[in-house]
Chains A and B, each alone.
Chain A
Amino acid sequence: MAGIRVEYQEELKALEASALGGLDLVSAALGRTLEAIEHQDIELAQIVVADDDRIDGRYLEVHQALITLLATQSPVATDLRLIAAMLHVLKNIERMGDQCVNICKVIPMSGHEPPADEEMVKLILTMGSHTKALISQSKRAFEERNIEMARDLVDRDDVVDELNRDCFRLALAIGDDADKREWAMTMLLTARAIERIADNAVDIGEQVAFVVTGLFREFEDASHPDQHG
């Protein structure tokens, strides 16, 4: 029956939009991060670091509003599952933002010279664009409560994981030059950070399944790789 608890329902909707909007912020941060890697743009990297305050601010603001809703509205059933999932997703978003910061902090360490290995930079940029796609897919899956779309994130994440392994192989083969090796190390950290961002997108997909079904289950369990399903 319409007309009951309308404000509460609207607030919940607005908070969901605000929480998921955090994924747009992360996507933008990752886009700038990739640009900074590609062009060795230290200033742009610094902007990403400074701008992470917006992502953290979004986290704190929505988190507090959700706690208030829990305290004042006693949400249950779907509303409760949605709020629990949002608290989780907010943390994922905050972590994704931090990974962008981690990458941007190592860009100055990789030096002002052109990158030592074009192929590796290309791999990392490819990883980054795949990961950006994962971020927007996780957002859409959440908005649409679409478990299929959420589950598909696992397959797409496999591509990112494979690219990460390719980076590792390239780094091993980079040769004996100390500067090159150091550069390769920072690129490995970068690849690893991007890979973690993609993992967080998969985690968000798992929360979609929780909101819909009420059951939390990891899509893929890294400690028991044979049992996933």
Chain B
Amino acid sequence: MFGSQAKPKAEEGRNTMSQAGPVTETSSEAPGGAPAARRAKTLEAKEVNLFYGGFHAVENVNMTIEPNKVTALIGSSGCGKTTFLRSLNRMHELTPGATVRGDIELDGEDIYAAGVDPVAVRRLVGMVFQQPNPFPTMSIYDNVAAGLNFNSGKVSKSERDAIVERSLRGAHLWGEVKDRLDRPGSSLSGGQQQRLCIARATAVSPEVLLMDEPCSALDPVATLAIEELIGELKKEFTIAIVTHNMQQAARASDTTAFFNLEESGKPGRLIEIGPTERIFTKPTQKATEDYVSGRFG
């Protein structure tokens, strides 16, 4: 599925081109009026070890990022959570000297298997970054459509229009930009730019969305808007989010994974993972308790 012959996701079942509208829309075929939530794919890390040259950055992580849930990765700086996140869509290897050991499987398929195209992986496992990074000179429309152009070549104008609208609606941005789609992406506020980046990431119909501190550059109102959006997006996607904001992890995630390192220079490890509600009320590990209670720096 990751090979060059991989079918563009936009042509598969749920995202037919005629189906404009928000990605969270209720499907008419859904039995009993249940939400059209589809099952996104599961990401599973098995014995994952990550290195920067000779430096062992992340040691032996085993965890499952469950479909249609938000998994928050928390831990102090340098604990390896962002490194781990970047390994989930093969971005880690873009750093010179960086290597990966172990398996990362998307619904059972190893994304690091020989012959797998990393670009195809990154289309299925999208990333939203800390700093909103729209293409500054591109229009809002082209920003959203950018991935479509790169990924699937032949998308008709009307199909593209539909995907752009659906993605912008899904990112809670359509109402604010529908009359100025030709304006540059940089004309938007920080919070709008981040939602634009989320629209761009969802336009290519990924399975998983990775978010690396997506709100740390945003004000509280924009932050809450993104958190609410994350809650909507999980109906369609599997989401993993790195955050330094413990309240954000508590508010916005279903599962929380706590990473820690024994001391500087040692590799980061996954200390505890569990339902967010439990991690914040009754963690089982003392290190988790100390971190979520703010007893660590």
Contact = CB atoms under 8 A, between A and B. Distances in A.
The yes or no verdict on A and B being binding partners is: yes
A75 interface: yes
A4 B280 contact: no
Nearest to B280: A76
B283 interface: yes
A41 B162 CA distance: 86
A77 B292 CA distance: 7
Contacts, number: 39
Interface in B244-297: 246-247, 250, 280-283, 288-289, 292-297
Given A76-B292, A78-B289, A214 B297 contact: no
Interface residues of A, number: 15
B264 to A, nearest CB: 13
Interface string A72-83: 001111111100
A71 B288 CA distance: 22
Contact of B283 (A8, A75, A77, A213): A77
B294 A5 contact: yes
B266 to A, nearest CB: 16
B58 to A, nearest CB: 22
Nearest to A75: B293
Given A81-B281, A81-B282, A214-B281, A74 B247 contact: yes
A1 interface: yes
B281 A77 contact: yes
Interface string A133-159: 000000000000000000000000000
Interface residues of B, number: 15
Interface in A195-229: 213-214
B293 A76 contact: yes
Contacts of A81: 281-282
A76 B280 CA distance: 5
Contacts of B297: 1, 4
A9 B247 CA distance: 19
Interface in A69-100: 74-81
A80 B296 contact: no
Contacts of A8: 294
A176 B294 CA distance: 68
A6 B221 CA distance: 30
Contacts of A74: 246-247
B250 A76 contact: yes
A13 to B, nearest CB: 14
Looking at A8, A9, A75, A77, the one whose CB has the most chain B CB atoms below 10 A away is A77
26 contacts: A1-B297, A4-B295, A4-B296, A5-B293, A5-B294, A5-B295, A8-B294, A9-B295, A74-B246, A74-B247, A76-B246, A76-B250, A76-B293, A77-B281, A77-B288, A77-B289, A77-B292, A77-B293, A78-B293, A79-B293, A80-B280, A80-B281, A81-B282, A213-B282, A214-B281, A214-B282
Interface of A: 1, 4-5, 8-9, 74-81, 213-214
